[in-house]
Amino acid sequence: MNLGDQLRETLGEEADMQYATPPDVDRLIIGGRQRRRHRNLVRAGGTALALVLIGAGAYAVLQTNPAAEIPIVDTPKAPPVLPEDPGASTLEPGTYRVLVGAGADGAAIEADLTFEGRAWHAGNFPRLNEGRNGGFGVYRAYALAAGSGCLGDESTVDAATTPEALAQQLAELPGSTVVQPVTSTGVLGRDALHLRVRIPQECPLNEYYRVAETPRGSRGISFHAASPQPTVVMDFWVMEEAGVPVVLDAWYEVGASKVLLDGVAQATEATRFVAP
C-alpha cells in the first residue's frame, strides 16, 4: 500500500470517528450578522481611505528605496466576536471583540471586552447576575431614549455629535434623576465627561427601558419579568474616539451586592479600544 492510499484510509477513519455536538445555529446567525455589519462599516471607511491611500501610495513609490525589504510582522489573532445570544446563556470567561460604531472617517471602531467569572450572561450588552443585575457597555449612540423611555413608546431623539452635548442629553434621560452632574474626568486613558443618574424603570410588563440605540441594537437595562423594574444607577463616561463621541456606561440595580459592583467595575476598567 502506498502512502497516498494510507493517507486516504487514515484520514477517512479519523474523520469517521469524530462526533460533533449539535450546532448553535442562532449563535452562528448572530455572529454572521455582526460580521456583515463590520464588513459594511469597513467598506464604507475603505472608500474614504482609498482616496488617501492612493495619494500616499504614489508619494511612497517615489520615496521608497526599491531594494529595501518590507518586514513581515505576524499580527496576533483577534479575540472572538462577542456572541449576541439574546437568551440567558452564560458567557464563557475571556476576551471578546465588539463593534463600537463608525468613526468620523467611516471606519469601524472596535473594543475588546474581558469577562471573568461565570456569572456573566450573553447578549449584545452582557449582564452580570449576582442576585441583582448589573453591566457595562461601550458604544456609539445614534439615538437616545425619549418619551417614557420604554421600548414600546418607540420615541427616540437623535444623539448629539459632540461629547459635551451628548453628556447633557444623557443627563436628561426620561424619568431619570442626576446623582452626579457632568464633570470632566479621565477613563481608559482618555479625557471624558462623567455623570451618574438614577433611573426608576416604570415600563409596562414585558417592556424594557431603552437607554440608547446603537450599532449593536438597543441598549436596554431591564431584566425582570415584574413591573415596575428595580431602580437602576448608571454611570456614563462620554469620550471622543476616532473623531466621534463614544459612550462607556456601567450600571447596577439598587440593592446590588459588593461582589456585583466590583465585577462590573473590573470589567468596565478592562475595556480596551482596538488600535485602527
Partner 1 sequence: MNVDEDFADFVRARWSSLYRLAYLLAASPTGAEDLLQTTLEKAYVSWHRIGQMEYPEAYVRRMLANTLVSSRRRAWHRERPTGTLPEVAGDSAELPVLDRSLLWPLVCALPDRQRAVIVLRYYEDLSEAQIAEALGCAQGTVKSQASSAIAALRRAVAAAGVGEAVDGS
Q: Interface residues with partner 1 (CB under 8 A)?
A: 1-4, 6-16, 18, 20, 22-23, 25, 27-29, 31-36, 39, 72, 74, 77, 80-81
Find how far residue 1's CA is from the centre of its chain: 55
Task: Return the C-alpha cell found at 225.
Answer: 419579568
234 is written with which cell numbers? 448608571
Residue number with CB closer to partner 1 (12 or 204): 12
CB 16, min distance to partner 1, A: 7
- Buried-state track 258-272, b at ≥16 Cβ within 10 A, e below 16: eebbebbeebbeebb
Shorter beta-carbon distance to partner 1: residue 2 or 63: 2
**Nearest distance from residue 215's CB to partner 1, in Å?**
16
Task: Pick the closer one to partner 1 by CB: 80 or 93.
Answer: 80
Residue 19 DSSP label: -
Min separation Cβ 127 and partner 1, Å: 23
Residue with Cβ nearer partner 1 (7 or 60): 7
Distance CA 237, CA 192 (A): 6
Strands (E), 140-257: 143-145, 156-158, 177-187, 190-199, 210-214, 217-220, 232-241, 244-253
Question: Based on CB atoms, which residue is closest to partner 1, 3 or 51?
Answer: 3
CB of 19 to partner 1, least distance (A): 8
With a CB cutoff of 8 Å and minimum separation 6, the contacts of 256 are: 130, 131, 132, 133, 134
**In this structure, which amino acid lies at residue 17?**
M
CB of 36 to partner 1, least distance (A): 5
What is the residue-wise DSSP string for 188-201?
TTEEEEEEEEEE--
Residue with smaller CB distance to partner 1, 84 or 130: 84
CB of 73 to partner 1, least distance (A): 8
